[in-house]
Amino acid sequence: MNRSVDEMKVVITDVRGIRMRLVAYTRALELCAKMNYETEVLDFIDRIEEGAVLYDLGACEGRFSLYSALRKVHCYAFEPEAMNYRAMLQNIELNGERAKQYLKPLNLAVGAGNGRSVLKIGQPWAGGHHRVVSGAPNRIDLSFDTVSQQEVTMVSLDQFISANNLPRPDYLKVDIDGSELPFLEGAIETLASPQLKGIIFELCKRDESYHKAISVLASCGFRAGRHCQVEPELFNVFFER
């Protein structure tokens, strides 16, 4: 559905002193706009210094990307799903010049290499979840009925940064349901870069991707610290050198 900014339901909220305007034209977007879920991600962003570079992988409708941008953190926000990406563009438009200056939206998925893939969707509305790239390893907690599909562009983070001469990230936020292992494979140079200071990574503790991520990031000099529960076996894990 195409909507102009003037036609949309918009929520205005103050998030830790940052005034944000967020679209709320679906129930899922309305819940996202409350900014009271996964507040540990806000904690992570609050530690990022002004002018640093954050890559938000799996940005959804962009609320955390936008929060970082309004704090003058340069954010590259990767979101493959069309409705969520459109909502992110609308949120950027609603929040003025600083959002446009500091937030770079990218309609891309991250994986082991470059190419096209199919995104299987269980919640086909803006702000929805249950979106998994076809062919990615089956994460043990991600089981849902596919309602629709979209063709998406996939990139290796290492190759994308190199090909586009982008700044390497100082920080990473990773929330890429089911694509954790392909992402790790395609981002080894980025993860090993001494420029990378911290990561918040959503992981399922019952799945092999959790142990693989711990191992790969340890080989790059990172140690797992704080675990914040999102769902019964799903955690946002903080990694620091």
pTM: 0.94
Question: What integer pLDDT is reported at residue 143 of this predicted model?
Answer: 63
Which conformational region is residue 146 in: left (phi greater than 0), alpha (psi within -120 to 50 degrees), or beta? beta
d(CA 213, CA 191): 11
CATH code for residues 37-240: 3.40.50.150
Chain-centroid distance, C-alpha 55 = 8
Q: What is the pLDDT of residue 40?
A: 98
Alpha-carbon distance of 22 to 206, in angstroms, equals 34
- Which sequence spans correspond to the domains of the chain? 37-240
**Could you read off the pLDDT tens digit of each residue along the chain, which spans 241 residues?**
455 565 679 999 999 999 999 999 999 999 999 999 999 999 999 999 999 999 999 999 999 999 999 999 999 999 999 999 999 999 999 999 999 999 999 999 999 999 999 988 877 788 876 567 766 667 766 666 677 899 999 999 999 999 999 999 999 999 998 899 999 999 999 999 999 999 999 999 999 999 999 999 999 999 999 999 999 999 999 999 9
Q: Residue 1: its pLDDT value, please?
A: 46
- Tell me the pairing of strands 103-106 and 148-156: unpaired
28, amino acid identity:
A
CA pair distance 91, 11, nearest whole angstrom = 10
Q: How is residue 182 written in tokens?
A: 């392909």
Q: What is the pLDDT of residue 144?
A: 66
CA atoms of 200 and 207, how far apart (whole Å): 17
Q: Enter the tokens of residue 20.
A: 């944000």
d(CA 132, CA 119): 6
- Cα Rg, the chain, nearest whole Å: 17
Token pair for residue 189?
A: 């140079």
pLDDT of residue 137: 66
Three-state secondary-structure class, residue 51 = coil
